[in-house]
Structure 1
């Protein structure tokens, strides 16, 4: 299948992707950003008439097989789930495997423009490497995929573009907005006048949702007297507002979340020091999978500024990247 634009937000927590379906609607997908080594033998196939098949695919990167997909296991012995939380994540084989998984599950085989995002603070450092690695004919063990051009944008730009679609009259050249993208491993912010980024007031720091989950795990371990490695299950319980099951008990995570607030406050304070008081900003646009965890602290930090939490914040960047790519393709065709 050929598509003009394919947008992928390979996040530390989840991999999200979007493209324009044949019907004209926007198709999206998402799966956990976990890429454990594929099992050397698949025992599950012996029970295929009884057990439901898992939606996963084996991806080959440099002759090593990784398993990715919506049904990848959230748990593993001693916490080795295949999650990569490093600043150079975009250069890792885990990143490549997750991107390949998004391409596989969408069914696209030829892409005119592949749009990827990077955290603000390391965009310039890794942009060229991503463009070089993922342009051309790619083979991840599931057949060839052709990518004609790769575009890399700062991750919060996707949310800015998406928010502007709902309030077009508020995004003129002289209208300032602050986009805060709370990811799994980093929190990024983009200060924009219209759609022009102010480099001095745009940045990001390690410290997204995962630092809260790790803090909660440490607090539970203290109370239970047992090590807690199940960060992925804590993430899932928080997103679903469900208790955390641990050794036969349902644990309410709300008290532990409250005890983790100082971590959020520290990140928000660092952002405040960079962007200032925001007296001329029309809105703070909040997106990312960790948006709900940071919303109250951000509202407290900027009490006189409109705070907009984007619908389906986890998919916001991918949908915005798609809009960026489609506008770019349309402009090139007009000028071509």
Structure 2
């Protein structure tokens, strides 16, 4: 299938994609950012046809075959594979495997414009990503072509979606978008009515949702004397409002997460508050999959400032990338 524009938010926690299908319907999907190198052992080769998942994609990158589970509901186990949260994430072969798997999940043979997102403080990789993903590739599933690549700071996707899709009333002169992801927090300050980025009041740094759930795991380990390394399981159970079942126990996570998220939120938001300097001209908008975990602490840091949570925090960035990409291609044709 040919896709004119695809928005791809390649986060440390999940890959999120948005595009319009051939019938004009808006398609969105997400899956965990885990690419596991497959073993060349006889055991792996023998058992895969019987135990492998139908939604698992095998992609070849730099002489290594990676397995990527593209089912949106699949939860990686504690030892499922590396989820890279380092600054070099976008330069790793696992990153390529995740992008290629998104193309397979979308059944895209040709993409006219791929709009990728990067954390604000990692935009130095922009040109490298453009070179890597522009062209025709065969990663084990026949040739796939990407004609053009644009790389944007992740919160800019939400800024575009806020303007074109969410229809949130912003009366303040400036809008501060705080994008809370799995591994990073990015913030972008823009002029509310001209969408001009205020570079001296924008930035980002590591640490977000994963930090909260790792802290919960540490609390559980201290209380129960066992290892609790399954941060994805902790995250999933908390979001679904069900007990965590581990080590033969059924554990209500509410009090643990409440304590952990407050500590992390206050520390993170104080950094943002210090870097944006004054707040008198701001309307704060939270976006990103982990935004609901931090927003409760926001009034304490941004006292008296209007605060809004975007409608679809998980897909806001990639949806905005899609809308912005369509707008760009339309202008180019004119």
Q: Please, what TM-score do these two structures have when normalized by structure 2?
A: 0.92
Relative distance call for 1:141 and 1:166 in structure 2 (3 A) is closer
Deviations 1:298-320 (A, max 9, x none): 23222322222112211111101
Using the alignment, how far apart are the partners of 1:171 and 1:20 within structure 2? 28
Pairing partner for 1:181 from 179, 182, 188: 179
**Would you say the 8 A contact 1:179–1:189 is kept in 2?**
yes
**Would you say the 8 A contact 2:177–2:286 is kept in 1?**
yes
Q: Which residue of 1 aligns with 2:222?
A: 222
Deviating more after overlay: 205-214 vs 65-74? 65-74
CA-CA distance at 1:42 after TM superposition: 5.2
Using the alignment, how far apart are the partners of 1:273 and 1:199 within structure 2? 15
**Is the counterpart of residue 74 in structure 1 residue 76 in structure 2?**
yes
Deviations 1:261-281 (A, max 9, x none): 222211100000011342112
Q: What is the root-mean-square deviation of aligned Cα atoms in Å?
A: 2.0
Deviations 1:88-147 (A, max 9, x none): 111111111111111001011111111000001111x11111001000112221111111
**Is the counterpart of residue 46 in structure 1 residue 62 in structure 2?**
no
**Is the counterpart of residue 10 in structure 1 residue 16 in structure 2?**
no
**Would you say the 8 A contact 1:158–1:318 is kept in 2?**
yes
Deviations 1:54-106 (A, max 9, x none): 41111111121111123466115xx3522111111111111111111110010
**Is the counterpart of residue 323 in structure 1 residue 327 in structure 2?**
no
Q: Which residue of 2 aligns with 1:102?
A: 102
Superposition map of 1:109-124 within 5 A: 109-123=109-123
**Would you say the 8 A contact 1:160–1:285 is kept in 2?**
no
- State how many pairs are aligned: 325
Deviations 1:136-176 (A, max 9, x none): 1122211111111110000001111111125669579x941
Deviations 1:25-46 (A, max 9, x none): 2111111111112353252533
Using the alignment, how far apart are the partners of 1:265 and 1:47 within structure 2? 44
Residue ranges of structure 2 left out of the alignment (5+ in a row)? none
1:121 aligns to what SS in structure 2?
A: helix
1:257 aligns to what SS in structure 2?
A: helix
Superposition map of 1:1-336 within 5 A: 1-39=1-39, 40-41=44-45, 43=47, 45-46=49-50, 53-71=53-71, 74-76=76-78, 79=79, 81-123=81-123, 125-166=124-165, 175-193=173-191, 194-260=194-260, 261-281=262-282, 283-334=283-334
Q: Please, what TM-score do these two structures have when normalized by structure 1?
A: 0.91
Relative distance call for 1:166 and 1:300 in structure 2 (3 A) is farther
Using the alignment, how far apart are the partners of 1:168 and 1:213 within structure 2? 32
